[in-house]
Chain A
């Protein structure tokens, strides 16, 4: 199990039924509630890994949730390095997860 949006019927704050918003994450459709952040829609679709790191290729996802840590960077509609927690999802947004490999060592560099 993973992150989950609270079904509006069960929410004690008595919300109205949310309008859906649909994006794609690496080509796979994901649907959330209109007004959610990209991070929220991606998390609720069952994806915790938003990118892989450059040095170790380690998985990373949302950490601070308020735009400070830059760990949730994704590509959105061809625009790189967008903090998914800060950008609201719009219908049709195409999200691509990022993995920025380190550049190859120059020829002759022993390291």
Chain B
């Protein structure tokens, strides 16, 4: 053990971050936990604000008791400092830092997108990255109309505000997440006209059936999904396979959608279109991990583009650990197990220690579950057949599919960077978070067999969140609680 306590910084207060904070504290580390929101729980446990107490909020959540237990533990612990409204906007190497991780973490603290937020620089001994994921939504004609939401938006507004995004709603896309989205909508007063899962029975069977014994330990997961299905039956929500929303219609807002049958690789089948009047549509095709801080810290990624970790959830960067959806989309149980192991290891423990034996076992079980989800529900290659020439693919810069194709053909370029610069796709204010991987896929498809050749990706964002120039000009405050005071200076 070190003579001084290890300073562990946990970024993200969702399931993985909460579990990491508690485990690091259990091993005696001093913990700071940051979250950009003013609440704990992340997106999974998004809940009502303190101004709106209710007797039975747990019925909206899976694992609510676990959340209450974790959050009460960290909030009542003087050795765990929780900073809410804390947006990390850069991480950079700092060889002069007193913290053993030799990284400087730049933070602004205050009202979201406010002016005059307080700047803070943290230099911890170890970092646990638990930044989570957001919806991946593929483009289709009309997806930029008001009234088209991601599944995550519908969830956040239902669970966090008791707001139903529409009265007559369809849910479409792929993956088990469609079920809780539909359940939340129905619980909040929407008429869910239907849930349309693009994959078909053979894909679902291939993904879910092999090696059923692996699922034995995932009984809790089965209960979670069974609960959503029971809700479907209760609310009589139709669940259709091999179908998708292929267009949204309206002038100033969504008024209707077109549903079509799709092939096993998700291309719409001619002659199967059906128009349905709706006032909202929720679309989600999976999740994209939030990797920018991991990349800024120097973490290597896997071939599937998640953060590469070892048995201790340690990345290739000394002192930097990762847990939850950024190491693979696996859901709450996997995030809790990984978070616990990461927090324990960040505080100097080992994956072989008895304190984390159960977490290591759960991690093995639920990783198997994550592989099944990908096999059953993963994005298939035929989806660009939904696009028309004028379908917007980059929402921020309003770049259409046709523009993207013509620029690629006209320039003959096979460089992602060059094509982004010539079309501006992926260069808007969301920094390619919504369209980045879509743009990569469409361009790779367009340039043909040789593929894109410059080896860059849209995941890199050195400035991890927009920051106002006035805030940037203000000097950073040293961290008053740190054992390692830092000199006042901006990023290099």
Contact = CB atoms under 8 A, between A and B. Distances in A.
A44 to B, nearest CB: 6
B163 A68 contact: no
A65 B52 contact: no
A8 B189 CA distance: 11
Nearest to A80: B113
Nearest to B280: A3
A24 interface: no
Contact of B163 (A40, A56, A63, A64): A40
Interface of B: 36-38, 43, 48-57, 59-60, 111-115, 134-135, 144-150, 152-157, 160-168, 187-189, 252-253, 279-280, 395-398, 428-430, 433-434, 466
B253 A49 contact: yes
A11 B148 contact: no
**Closest 5 A-B residue pairs measured CB to CB?**
A65-B153, A35-B49, A61-B146, A15-B54, A48-B146
Contact of B49 (A60, A67, A88): A88
The secondary-structure label for the interface of chain A is: loop
B225 to A, nearest CB: 21
Interface in A1-44: 1-6, 8, 10-16, 18-19, 33-37, 39-40, 43-44
Given A3-B280, A68-B433, A79 B189 contact: no
A28 B428 CA distance: 30
Contact of A59 (B134, B145, B398): B145
A6 B164 CA distance: 7
A62 B398 contact: no
Contacts of A54: 398
B146 A60 contact: yes
Contact of B153 (A44, A66, A79, A88): A66
20 contacts: A2-B280, A3-B163, A5-B161, A5-B164, A12-B59, A13-B60, A18-B51, A33-B162, A34-B51, A35-B52, A36-B163, A40-B163, A63-B144, A66-B134, A66-B152, A70-B430, A79-B113, A82-B114, A86-B36, A87-B112
A53 to B, nearest CB: 6
Contact of A35 (B50, B147, B153): B50
B112 A64 contact: no
Count class of interface residues, chain A? 35 or more
A37 B161 contact: yes
A19 to B, nearest CB: 6
Given A12-B187, A65-B156, A2 B167 contact: yes
Given A64-B153, A83-B112, A71 B56 contact: no
Contacts, number: 181
B152 A13 contact: no
A59 B253 contact: yes
A72 B424 CA distance: 21
A13 B57 contact: yes
Interface of A: 1-6, 8, 10-16, 18-19, 33-37, 39-40, 43-44, 48-50, 53-56, 58-71, 73, 79, 81-83, 85-88
A73 B466 CA distance: 13
Given A64-B153, A65-B154, A6 B189 contact: yes
Which of B59, B149, B162, B280 counts the most A-chain CB atoms under 10 A from its CB?
Answer: B162
B189 A10 contact: yes
Given A3-B166, A61-B146, A62-B149, A88 B38 contact: yes
B135 A40 contact: no
Contacts of B187: 12
A60 B145 CA distance: 6
Contacts of B114: 79, 82
A50 to B, nearest CB: 7
B112 A67 contact: yes
Nearest to A55: B398
B135 to A, nearest CB: 6
A49 B160 CA distance: 21
A5 B162 contact: yes
Given A16-B54, A81-B466, 17 more contacts: A2-B166, A2-B280, A4-B189, A5-B162, A15-B48, A15-B162, A33-B161, A40-B161, A60-B144, A61-B146, A63-B144, A64-B434, A69-B395, A69-B430, A71-B430, A86-B112, A88-B38
A37 B187 CA distance: 20
